[in-house]
């Protein structure tokens, strides 16, 4: 069979698939329209990218997904999205819709990945940006927000960090960096190198974004793991300043003593300074007959 004949049959099959897809679409039979459009997309990759075809395909995909969701066929919905993404791998609307579906299924990590991929394709796609912010707000513990907005607390940390850096603490380890705020303070104060570790995957991703969008973040190395799991490949030098906020409302609930001890044994130089350097712990005796009984 000659190449011309093969190309002709190829084109005929593509045209037939497109006509079938449109016929079934006009009948609201999206279950049949969708696979025909997939065939057309695979046979005519360049032609499929035309706005007319992309819009029509997205409408069919949306209609089919809506129908399957109403029928409770969530596994089929995911399959449809996966097949659609194969032919439109960088379309922000499709990626965002797929991410929204996964988020509703509590598949937050996959949803986040799709929202970020949508924004890589189009940084100005507001729907993806809004969905990503909503996802982040549901995953980040609520106590982070008032803490980060505590101006007095932040100024105290910044003052202490700046003082230590001015004294000559040029290398810094920030354990439990969270959003990366203290690391940025150290870098801004003039520290030459800052190592920031964060065990929470959600917070590590947040810190990565914060560091990227701040010029001071260029001197911060983010280590997405528990400090107790780090070794010299993560922090290849003995640092001269340790900053940490691994405290809870009861001071010791986040294993700060174990964390700091491990840091002293593995990452801190002799004479290393620590911020905060001390804490007051108040104990109040309580008498209660109901508790005693």
Write out the catalytic residue numbers: 245, 254
Report d(CA 256, CA 22) in Å as an integer. 63
DSSP state of 226: -
Q: Structure tokens of 6?
A: 């093969």
Task: For residue 114, give the 3-state DSSP assignment.
Answer: helix
Contacts 24+ apart (CB under 8 A), 226-231: 226/197, 226/199, 227/175, 227/176, 227/197, 227/199, 227/259, 227/262, 227/263, 228/258, 228/259, 228/262, 230/197, 230/266, 230/267, 231/266
Report d(CA 202, CA 205) in Å as an integer. 5
Residue reference for tokens 């995911």: 78
């Amino acid at each position: 069979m000659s190449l011309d004949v093969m190309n002709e049959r190829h084109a005929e099959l593509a045209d037939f698939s497109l006509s079938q897809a449109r016929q079934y679409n006009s009948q609201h039979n999206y279950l049949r329209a969708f696979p025909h459009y997939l065939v057309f997309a695979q046979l005519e990759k360049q032609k499929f990218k035309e706005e007319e075809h992309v819009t029509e395909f997205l409408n069919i995909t949306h209609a089919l997904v809506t129908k399957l969701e109403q029928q409770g066929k969530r596994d089929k919905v995911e399959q449809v999205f996966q097949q659609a993404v194969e032919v439109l791998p960088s379309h922000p609307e499709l990626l965002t819709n797929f991410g929204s579906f996964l988020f509703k299924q509590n598949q937050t990590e996959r949803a986040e990945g799709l929202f970020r991929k949508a924004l890589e394709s189009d940084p100005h796609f507001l729907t993806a940006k809004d969905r990503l912010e909503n996802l982040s707000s549901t995953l980040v513990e609520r106590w982070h927000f008032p803490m980060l907005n505590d101006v007095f607390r932040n100024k105290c940390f910044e003052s202490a960090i700046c003082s230590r850096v001015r004294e000559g603490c040029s290398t810094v380890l920030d354990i439990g960096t969270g959003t990366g705020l203290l690391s940025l303070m150290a870098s801004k104060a003039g520290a030459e190198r800052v190592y920031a570790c964060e065990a929470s995957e959600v917070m590590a991703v947040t810190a990565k974004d914060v560091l990227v969008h701040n010029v001071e973040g260029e001197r911060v190395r983010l280590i997405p793991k528990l400090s107790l799991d780090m070794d010299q490949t993560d922090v290849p030098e003995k640092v001269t300043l340790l900053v940490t906020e691994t405290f809870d409302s009861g001071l010791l609930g986040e294993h700060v003593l174990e964390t700091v001890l491990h840091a002293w044994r593995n990452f801190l130089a002799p004479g290393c300074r620590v911020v905060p350097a001390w804490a007051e712990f108040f104990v109040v005796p309580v008498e209660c007959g109901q508790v005693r009984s």
